[in-house]
Amino acid sequence: MKKPIKFFLITGIVIVIGLFGVYIFKGRNQETIHVKHNVTKVSAPVRKVYTTDAATFKLSPESLSDSEKNSRNKLESFLKENMLVNGGFVTNYKAHKDQNKTELATGHDQLSESAGLWLRNLALTGTQRQFDAFYKETRKKFFADGQFTYRINADGKRSDVNASIDDMRIISALIEAEQRFKDPKYQKEIKSLVSTFKKQSIQNGMLVDFYDVKTKKPAHQISLYYLDIKDMGYIYKVAGLSPKDLEFEYHILKNGYISNSFPLYHTRYNYDTGKYEDSKQINIIESLLSILYLSEIGQEKSQSIQFVKNAVTTGTLYNSYNLDGTPADKSQSAASYAIAAMIGKEIGDQKLYQQAIQIVQNFQITDPSSPIDGGIGDPNTLQVYSYNNLMALLAYDY
């Protein structure tokens, strides 16, 4: 049972790094950003996703084996019965003793990230009634001042900032719902959300990590693992933003590639300096998301794909790496393998998908006497994070 224990280390890193951008620029005096770029031509991949055709978002859920289907259903049941509380998902199965004294999401805090992941799952496999009910609750709980707050404390206090990737994930779920349920009401809601999103989380055509509704100040950076170009194409089109700006964002993502010898991606891009920035290590989940976004538009690097394949085959998809490519933390995460499975689906590599989803399956608790049976977590400490479980469920249904 050592794998689930290792899993939580990466989860904590994801939350900490994801929120790093929320606080690093909060004291700036600038209220907007201005980036001049010399993009004159829009590439074919960007032209293709710069569209409001919901069919672009159509996914065909994977045909699972009986064993995989059983694991998937147990995971879904665990989430519904243990993590879904008062219309939202708690960050952790266990409450934190200093729940409201930390700036990091933990314990029974609720995140719009989790809501967006569940909405995507409902758009893929749920009923329209289920989707609409949960979206209504998500909007009521998280939406305020034109955006979805990234976090609600256990005491009900909303954060003043969003995380733009979470807003986009919720919008993406609405697009997928529109495509699947063929109901025009989703298009109306999408337009309403985009109208404020483009004023706050998109500054002069540039997507930023967050917007602070209290100080009225945006971040001056963008994390590469926020640059979901396919989602952005739809949003930029609805918002009436230039495809040249989207092309520039695509360049930021594509050019964030570190090297052929270490084929992962830099962490973030600073609009003020025009330079990439990293933490001390490269977080594997963040780089895998960057690879996934590129694979969605057919622009993945072959070296990155080979890196993922080798790591999945050998079971060595480590949590983080030093900038020289050596492992910094050899613990592993089910979420990493879940994203690897999605990458396999996007590039049409059935072997990669199956290998990765098998490892995800191995992370699940299969002890009927355990209170977290069916979930992914630590059976001893009962630490179970919603992000891990929701990403695994999405991989099953992708």
Return the HEC string of the chain: CHHHHHHHHHHHHHHHHHHHHHHHCCCCCCCCCCCCCCCCCCCHHHHHHCCCCHHHHCCCCCCCCHHHHHHHHHHHHHHHHHHEECCEEECECCCCCCCCCCCCCCCCCEEHHHHHHHHHHHHHHCCHHHHHHHHHHHHHHHEECCEEECEECCCCCECCEECHHHHHHHHHHHHHHHHHHCCCHHHHHHHHHHHHHHHHCEECCEECCCEECCCCEECCEEEHHHCCHHHHHHHHHHHCCCHHHHHHHHHHHHCCECCCCCCCECCEEECCCCEEECCCEEEHHHHHHHHHHHHHCCCCCHHHHHHHHHHHHHCCCEEEEECCCCEEEEEECHHHHHHHHHHHHHCCCHHHHHHHHHHHHHHECCCCCCCCCCCECCCCCCCCEHHHHHHHHHHHHC
Across residues 65-94, what is the average pLDDT? 94
Q: How many of the other CB atoms lie within 10 Å of CB of 85? A: 11
Q: Are 220 and 26 in contact (CB under 8 A)?
A: no
Determine the pLDDT at residue 17: 32
> Is pLDDT at 371 greater than 90 in this prediction?
yes
How far apart (Å, rounded) are the C-alpha atoms in residues 222 and 344? 26
More confident residue, 16 or 364: 364
More confident residue, 24 or 195: 195
Across residues 215-221, what is the average pLDDT? 96
Determine the pLDDT at residue 155: 86
At residue 3 the predicted structure's pLDDT band, cuts being 50, 70 and 90, is very low
More confident residue, 10 or 297: 297
Q: Reduce the DSSP state of residue 364 to 3 states and report it.
A: strand
Q: Please, what is the average pLDDT of the chain?
A: 90
Q: What's the pTM?
A: 0.91
Determine the pLDDT at residue 328: 98
Structure tokens that stand for 59 in this block: 């996914």
At residue 154 the predicted structure's pLDDT band, cuts being 50, 70 and 90, is confident
At residue 5 the predicted structure's pLDDT band, cuts being 50, 70 and 90, is very low
Q: Tell me the per-residue pLDDT of 248-261, one tens digit each, with 9 for 90 and over.
A: 999 999 999 999 99
Determine the pLDDT at residue 2: 37
Across residues 10-20, what is the average pLDDT? 35
At residue 15 the predicted structure's pLDDT band, cuts being 50, 70 and 90, is very low
Q: Tell me the per-residue pLDDT of 76-85, one tens digit each, with 9 for 90 and over.
A: 999 999 999 9
At residue 33 the predicted structure's pLDDT band, cuts being 50, 70 and 90, is confident
In percent, the amount of the chain with pLDDT more than 90 equals 82
Determine the pLDDT at residue 92: 87
At residue 344 the predicted structure's pLDDT band, cuts being 50, 70 and 90, is very high
Q: Tell me the per-residue pLDDT of 128-144, one tens digit each, with 9 for 90 and over.
A: 999 999 999 999 999 99
Q: Tell me the per-residue pLDDT of 266-321, one tens digit each, with 9 for 90 and over.
A: 999 999 999 999 999 999 999 999 999 999 999 999 999 999 999 999 999 999 99
Determine the pLDDT at residue 6: 40
Q: Reduce the DSSP state of residue 109 to 3 states and report it.
A: coil
